Amino acid sequence: MSYSRSVLTKQADFHAAARGNRFSFSTLAVAITASLAHSALSAQELDHREEHLEEIVVTATLHRSRADTVLPVNLLAGEELREKLGATLGATLSEQVGVNSASFGPGVGAPVIRGQSANRVQVLQGGIGNIDASSVSPDHANSLEPSLATRIEVVRGPATLLYGNGAIGGVVNVIDNRIPTQLTEGVEGMLESRHNSVSDQQVSVGLLEGSVGQLAWHVDGVYRENNDLEIPGFALNPLLVDAADSEALEELAESRGVVRNTGARSNAQSVGASWIFDEGYVGVAFNRLDNQYGIPAGSHVHHEDEHHDEEHDESHEDHDDHHDEMHADENLLIDMQQERFDLEFELPLAGFFDEVHGRVGVVDYEHVEIEGAEIGTRYTQSGMEGRIALHQVETGGRQGVVGFQGSTREFSALGSEAFIPETDISAAALFTVQSLDAGSWLFEAGARIERQKLDQVAGSCDQTETTWSGSGSALWRFSDETNAIFSISRSERAATVDERYSNIQGNCTELPLEVMVQHAATQRLEVGLPQAETERATNLEFGLRKHAGDLTGELNFFYNDIADYIYLANTELEYNEVMVSRFRQEDASFMGLEAQLSAPLRRSGDHLTEIAFFADYVRAELDQSGDAPRIPPLRAGIELQHSHVHWQVKLRWQEVQEQDNVAFRELASPGYSLLSAYADWHFDLGNREALLFLRGTNLLDEEIREHPSFLKEVAPGAGRAWELGVRVNF
């Protein structure tokens, strides 16, 4: 990939777009009748009163129904997914029990599962890793586009160890239909357009798919554009502003009502095709993503050395010869591009194995951080990841899967903020899952062995580690509608490239303080731990689920004891007003609960009124250093829904408690209340099916400072927002 246009031209184009959207909502709404794109709504989707059919959980490896999997699962699909869609993966999943979002402005939102994020949450695209730089820094967006997904599965807890070294927290699997798995009758399509008032965000999504003989094909695309994010109050936390500093007060006043430099523009397109056999398929797909987004003003603060001559030094005797001048990047833009090629197949076998399923992805990823009119840092990562699974013939209630997964990638960061050396990363793993269905009991066991190798391109601080993980689970069906799950797992995780090599020299020693490179996103000098030991997590879990009948829901308790937990610890040391933070290892424990319960209140003819309750909580402590950093607080709420054959309305109230269990040099976050609403109406548009929807979020216009976010003190969440959208299916 290359950046042929001048940086200055791209910067000008971006900010021109941020001042005003090129396409108005009304224009796009009119264009719907002439545009193409998704699948037609089913009868179940049209009738809001219908109970949803039990869906197969693809990420459960053995592909069981949601009621019969031994894993706690969140599943978003169909209209529910379209209803929850946000600009980022984290925003899309933020209302799911046990899942939070770690935002870095509206352009970045990483999922946080049970207090774990980044390197401990495995983000998958169709079951294999998504090769980007999102886990390296909190200001790097994930390269997945949720608007193109047909379903998103979140499997909570380390029982997902079968998907990789980084799945101690859980797995997010984004599933789309870019590689079709079955033939369609005729041509199906969808076009959706939505507009959000809080940032003038305009999103347009299109999809078209069909079949020619045994060949199924798929085309999709999305375009998103928004201005700066509007907020109640000040972007900067007034409690941190020195009232005696006139410049600080002026900066505070300028931050009122808006998070500056948060405009964004992105587009993604996919094309794919599959040859469908009587049993199985072979398919390929290509996807391209372009994403430009601003980083909130004041989030990147640099301290740059200035060399002064003797005359200057004589007039400033109280300063060092090399003193730092602090300045904030007011117009920092990240320009990301990714191209991805996928091959997937599912074919029947004979003998001990009856099916083989495999997927391989080849990715070329690059993003540049544009500071003013110059490229500050260029991150690149290219690589390939593949996974193949052999499904055993089911006999006597016994079934299983054995498989292989491998990946290789080349990571580099070049420029003013390159604090991680160029490194080649490779991994290979063997895994298996075996289960026994004994009537009222279902038993499942899994194991994985993985070998990871980090090779520094210009150094000798190479690392090779082998990790072993295993899990055992049982599901007790003590009635036709209710079951209980019990699980224990022990999973190991090898340290990642940023945890080992941040500001580390090629001989495995840390750089001198005076030449360390500041990580501007976290406003810290981060120091890696090159000799980090393998992280070992032991997780115990108990859950109750009622999956059928009028009253449905689940309750999960978990306890996760992690030996040699790797975390970025703040220190008392500062160099030129920049905090030094070090990756450290210490035993830690995570414990918590998740609960959700729904029940009908009233049925009458074509009308159904339902109520739902939900809550989640996680407590994370280090054995010697107090509370773990950036852990989300207790959340609880209630949702009321009224459905008719052709329309529905929802009202949701959520209380987020204050988080005062904070790490060293971490500030507490105040609690807040969230009120949101949603309504939609199905109608016919000629011979097409259409849906008009309206969503309101943060209707009380509360100030939201999400505790998992590095930017909570300078970039709060969005204020009151209304989103109006329309979708046409044919």
- Would you say residue 442 has pLDDT above 80? yes
What is d(CA 196, CA 74) in angstroms, rounded to the nearest whole number? 26
pLDDT (average), residues 442-449: 93
Residue 306 β-bridge partners: 323
Nearest one of 189, 180, 361, 356 to 274, comparing CA atoms: 180
| pLDDT class of 10 with cuts at 50, 70, 90 | very low
Distance of CA 60 to the CA centre of its chain: 19
pLDDT (average), residues 367-396: 88
- Would you say residue 102 has pLDDT above 70? yes
Nearest one of 615, 613, 675, 678 to 642, comparing CA atoms: 678
Question: Higher confidence at residue 66 or residue 728?
Answer: 728
Three-state DSSP state, 252: helix
Give the lowest-confidence range in 115-119, 393-397, 408-412: 115-119
Nearest one of 239, 254, 266 to 108, comparing CA atoms: 266
Q: What angle (nearest 5°) sits at the alpha carbon of residue 264, between those of residues 260 and 266?
A: 175
Q: Which CATH superfamily is domain 7-729 in?
A: TonB-dependent receptor, beta-barrel domain (2.40.170.20)
Three-state DSSP state, 45: helix
Per-residue 3-state assignment (H helix, E strand, C coil) for 314-338: HCCCCCCCEEEEEEECCCEEEEEEE
Q: What is the pLDDT of residues 137-192, one digit of tens each?
A: 777 888 888 888 999 999 887 666 678 766 788 889 999 999 999 999 889 999 99
Contact 693, 679 (CB under 8 A): yes
What is d(CA 331, CA 373) in angstroms, rounded to the nearest whole number? 9
Give the lowest-confidence range in 53-62, 63-72, 405-414, 721-730: 53-62
Distance of CA 262 to the CA centre of its chain: 19
Q: What is the pLDDT of residues 630-644, one digit of tens each?
A: 999 999 999 999 999
pLDDT (average), residues 382-396: 93
- Would you say residue 73 has pLDDT above 90? no
Largest CA distance in the chain: 89
pLDDT of residue 308: 36
Show Cβ contacts of residue 269 under 8 Å, excluding neighbours closer than 6 positions. 219, 220, 221, 287, 288
Contacts of 204-210 with C-beta under 8 Å, sequence gap 24+, read 204/23, 204/28, 205/37, 205/38, 205/147, 205/148, 206/35, 206/36, 206/37, 207/36, 207/37, 207/38, 207/39, 207/148, 208/36, 208/37, 209/39, 209/177, 209/180, 209/184, 210/184, 210/186
| pLDDT class of 698 with cuts at 50, 70, 90 | very high
pLDDT of residue 685: 84
pLDDT of residue 359: 96
Residue with tokens 């060949």: 215
pLDDT (average), residues 505-524: 86
What is d(CA 307, CA 324) in angstroms, rounded to the nearest whole number? 9
pLDDT of residue 298: 65
| Helix H or strand E encompassing 437 | strand 423-438
Q: What is the pLDDT of residues 245-291, one digit of tens each?
A: 888 898 889 889 999 989 999 999 999 999 999 999 999 999 999 99
What is d(CA 141, CA 102) in angstroms, rounded to the nearest whole number? 11
Show Cβ contacts of residue 681 under 8 Å, excluding neighbours closer than 6 positions. 646, 647, 691, 692, 693
Q: Tell me the two tokens of residue 68.
A: 């019969």
pLDDT of residue 227: 93
Q: Are strands 524-527 and 578-604 parallel, antiparallel or unpaired?
A: parallel
| pLDDT class of 529 with cuts at 50, 70, 90 | very high
Nearest one of 332, 322, 388 to 358, comparing CA atoms: 388
Give the lowest-confidence range in 149-163, 403-417, 703-717: 149-163
pLDDT of residue 35: 35
Q: What is the pLDDT of residues 416-439, one digit of tens each?
A: 778 889 999 999 999 999 999 998
- Would you say residue 8 has pLDDT above 60? no
Q: Are strands 423-438 and 441-456 parallel, antiparallel or unpaired?
A: antiparallel
- Would you say residue 302 has pLDDT above 90? no
Q: What is the pLDDT of residues 538-576, one digit of tens each?
A: 999 999 999 888 899 999 999 999 999 999 888 888 888
Q: Tell me the two tokens of residue 643.
A: 């459905």
Contact 309, 272 (CB under 8 A): no
What is d(CA 461, CA 80) in angstroms, rounded to the nearest whole number? 48
- CA of 417: how far to CAs of 138, 346, 382, 512, in Å? 14, 43, 20, 16
pLDDT of residue 54: 57
pLDDT (average), residues 115-132: 87
Q: How many CB atoms lie within 10 A of CB 267?
A: 16
pLDDT of residue 21: 44
Residue with tokens 């920049």: 578
Domain positions in the chain are 7-729
